[in-house]
Amino acid sequence: MPASPGCNSCPVRLMPPRKRHPDRPLQRGLMRFWWRFILVALIAYVGYTIWLGGAYRNIEPFTAGQCVAVEAPPGPEDMAILPGGHAAIIASQDRRDRDAQGGLHLYDLTSRPGRLTRLELPPSLPFHPHGMGLFAAPDGQIFLHVINHRSADRHTVEIFLLQLAADGTPTVRHRGSVASDLFVHPNGIAAAGPESFYLTNDRGSGPRWMHMVENLLQLSRSTLVYHDGRFARVVAEDIAFANGVEVSTDGGAVLAGSTLWRMLLAFTREPTSGTLLRIGSLPLPMGPDNIRRDDNGDLWVAGHPNAFAFIGHAMDPQKESPSMVLRVSRDNRGATRVQEIFADPGSLISGASVAVHNQGRLLIGAVFQSTLLDCQLDPKQFKDVD
């Protein structure tokens, strides 16, 4: 009879000796090493992001000339000088009230400060403008391309024909709207012809939380789109928060700004097809917003030295956001020259987004404020940026 379980006479069952794993301490050590490495890398990345965003940078007030503040419609975010230099056109939108209708205004440059005139638009057109581009045709016609955020998910480009009467009275005729699935989240635009343009998407597609992750991790999901008047296609990608864009005087180059990378990206352009080839970049001491070219071919770039302060200003109008304006030109040897024209910690203007120049006159607009600055510049005071 087999012995019953638990009886004293049951034979002792010997268990095989447990195998030792001399490699387990090594595995645990490797795991600790990798976790520490990931933690250190994460801390370093967060620190780099904060440093790149300019969180600890102090902005000293500086103006290469004299500026006066002019009351403007809320959010004069983008503007352009009209041919002849007698006036500027301004696109404004109250970005703290997205349901409010935006507008186009003409700013008279024959006096200082100038006078603002609201342009009449079709009353049936839902108009919430962002970036704006201007093209002066050889026959004298002036075409205006304006990004329009019709809704949170629908974005178009409105094309207008701007006409000035002999007495300077402006009229605007809406020629039509351009839409494309590639207009994911358009920000900046540069007109390349009567109906052709380059447009930047400052982020990729996806829900709002994805946009926050994209900005935090500096993901390169932005694109540069070219519309030839009939079709749109992506001509550049892998950019972190693409913003302003401008075409060179001869049409052979395109400049685009990366706000998160704090640099300008340079592309050669094939005028017939609009195809771009990236050839270089230019680091800046700020995150560039809009880019504007003057009659001399010089670039005027407004931007945000402290991205975190700008986010705070976007959330709370009582919080100030530093601003900076740079001039990018060529010196006598053909080398790129970057000069500081304006810097402000936020007391004169917060969140400057655009600067346009003509004959020593500089206008500065902002993303949110109901203010623009009208400045008379002194070139002797321009400061070279190292």
What is the reported pTM?
0.86
- The tens digit of pLDDT for each residue in 106-144 reads 999 999 999 999 999 999 999 999 999 999 999 989 999
Strand order in the sheet with 361-366: 65-71, 371-377, 361-366, 352-358
Percent of the chain topping pLDDT 70: 85
pLDDT at 328 over 50: yes
**Residue 138: count of CB within 10 angstroms of its CB:** 5
**Omega before residue 113 within 30° of 0, cis:** yes
| CB 193, CB 181: distance < 8 Å | no
Question: What are the angstrom distances between the C-alpha of 88 and each of 55, 85, 195, 356?
Answer: 33, 7, 21, 9
pLDDT at 17 over 80: no
Average pLDDT, the chain: 89
pLDDT at 9 over 70: no
Q: Identify any residues that bridge with 186 across adjacent strands, giving them in sequence order.
A: 201
At residue 102, the 3 state secondary structure works out as coil
Percent of the chain topping pLDDT 90: 73
Q: How far apart are alpha carbons 58 and 139 in whole angstroms?
A: 48
Q: How far apart are alpha carbons 287 and 117 in whole angstroms?
A: 31
Closest by Cα among 191, 138, 187 to 160: 191
**Residue 179: count of CB within 10 angstroms of its CB:** 13
- The tens digit of pLDDT for each residue in 146-155 reads 999 999 889 9
| CB 344, CB 363: distance < 8 Å | no
- The tens digit of pLDDT for each residue in 46-68 reads 665 655 666 666 799 999 999 99
Q: What is the mean pLDDT of residues 4-17?
A: 54
